[in-house]
Amino acid sequence: MKNILEIKNLYHAYNPEISTIKDFSFSLSKGEIVSIIGASGIGKTTLLRIIAGLESIIDGEVIINEQVVSKKNFILPPEKRNVGLVVEDRALFPHLNVEKNVMFGIRHLQERNSLAHEYLSLFKVADLGKKYPHEISAGQQQRVAFARTLITNPDILLLDEPFGALDKNLKTELHLETKKIFKDKGLSVLLVTHDQEEAEYFSDRVIEFHKDKITIR
């Protein structure tokens, strides 16, 4: 199966004397879901930020769809990577209603209205299109955040603790719905989580960050 993402001998450090990520290699196949677990501050979110183009690297290569997007002294900007990112705090635009939030990344397309309705329906929030983020619940906001990201048809979907702020029942409900959507659409997903059960439920494989090594199983 084709690799949508390849990471080769990656080195990253915020401090020249301490590597955050050291000699890490990994590949993600099209349609594969991989979770990343480990303690806080150990480099999980940094890895997502590198893939998204928000962090530079010291050495190694990051390759998306056979194109080198990061290497020593080079970083392709995020807007040229076709990578989607959903984070814990949802990050919706407060001055835009739900419908316009979802259409933001495809506002240049003629079919944006029908696509927005399709993706809002997919995440069961089609009736909230005219409401603003502060008028809907945290769970509804997260559904909108997923819809806004998936509507752009990203090559890779990066998830940074997207269920972390939700209560247990809502988390379980969204787990079931989002995993089905990811699999139905054949999405390639990297999920950062502190929750071991969540990682095992979603994933084809799990990357585990330790203080002195990274393991893949």
pLDDT score of 212 more than 80 = no
For residue 140, give both structure tokens: 């509804």
CA atoms within 13 A on the CB side of 122: 22
Are the C-beta atoms of 28 and 76 separated by less than 8 Å? no
Mean pLDDT value of segment 28-54:
92
What is the per-residue DSSP string for 92-115? --TTS-HHHHHHGGGTT-TTHHHH
Give the confidence band of 90 by pLDDT, cuts at 50, 70, 90. low
Any domain includes 62: yes
Any domain includes 213: yes
Any domain includes 74: yes
Sign of the four-CA dihedral 87, 159, 171, 137:
positive
Q: What is the pLDDT of residues 184-209, one digit of tens each?
A: 999 999 999 988 889 999 899 999 98
Our count of domains for the chain comes to 1
Any domain includes 170: no
Residue closest to 194 by CA, chosen among 92, 25, 42, 28: 42
Task: Answer yes or no: pTM beyond 0.85.
Answer: yes
Collapsed DSSP state (helix, strand, coil) of residue 181: helix
What is the extent of the structural domain holding 31? 1-82+195-217
Q: Tell me, what CATH number does 60's domain have?
A: 3.40.50.300
Report the pLDDT value the prediction gives residue 215, as an integer from 0 to 100.
Answer: 87
